Amino acid sequence: MAQWRLSGEYFENCNCSVVCPCLMSTSAPLAARPTEGACEVVLAFHIDRGSYDGVSLDGLNIALAVLAPGPMGDGNLSAAAYIDERADDRQTAALGAIFTGAEGGPMAAFAPLITTHLGVKKTPIRYAVTGTHRSVEIPGIMQMAVEPIPSLHPSGETWVAAGHPVAPDKMALAVGSSGSTFADYGMHWDNSDKNGHYAPITWAN
């Protein structure tokens, strides 16, 4: 198994009402039904620093669109992947190995839940951070953004340690900004004003 590590950040925006019962409910983690019955979620990642078997991953972006027909832990997920068009062949292979869970790390626990692989596309991916606002854009496919949920905390953010597989120790509770949409593979989502999270990430195998 190749040795790899990366650090950066991620955010997600799903169609659940705030806050997602996958993580916060009286049921076991990932066992509660999404508030809308099915979960339609985009996860976007930006790598500040990364290395896979000597291949640099610095500055690259990746996004995943995932459809869960019921409780996330029940599996039967459908997923599509989008890889930064700036990645060369070696970087593309490295990102594929990491984000499919083939080389360990957080995605290794998530990958077995996916039964339908919709496809992988290399596209331009613009990931931006402005203060506490995060956004990702793939032309013609997705325009997603999140910002912190309203909070009485003086920082303006609400951070929790909810054990999320992507960021188990620390993540912010967020809400989808107006116009947060995804359209591809016959799916059309609008997650404006719906659940979101963002967090720094540090992964390794």
Is 180 in contact with 168 (CB distance < 8 Å)?
A: no
pLDDT of 88: 98
Q: Can you tell me the distance from the alpha carbon of 94 to that of 124, in angstroms, rounded to the nearest whole number? A: 18
Q: Are 203 and 5 in contact (CB under 8 A)?
A: yes
Nearest to 19 by CA among 2, 9, 34: 34
pLDDT at 29: 86
How much is the pLDDT for 69? 97
Q: What are phi and psi of 99, to 5 degrees?
A: -85, -5
Q: CA-to-CA distance for 117 and 65, rounded, in angstroms? A: 10
pLDDT tens by residue, the chain, 205 residues: 889 999 999 999 999 998 888 888 888 889 999 999 999 999 999 999 999 999 999 999 999 999 999 999 999 999 999 999 999 999 999 999 999 999 999 999 888 999 999 999 999 999 999 999 999 999 999 999 999 999 888 889 999 998 898 999 999 999 999 999 999 999 999 999 999 999 999 999 9
Q: What SS3 string covers 54-110?
A: CEECCCCEEEEEEEECCCHHHCCEEEEEEEECCCCHHHHHHHHHHHCCCCCCCHHHH
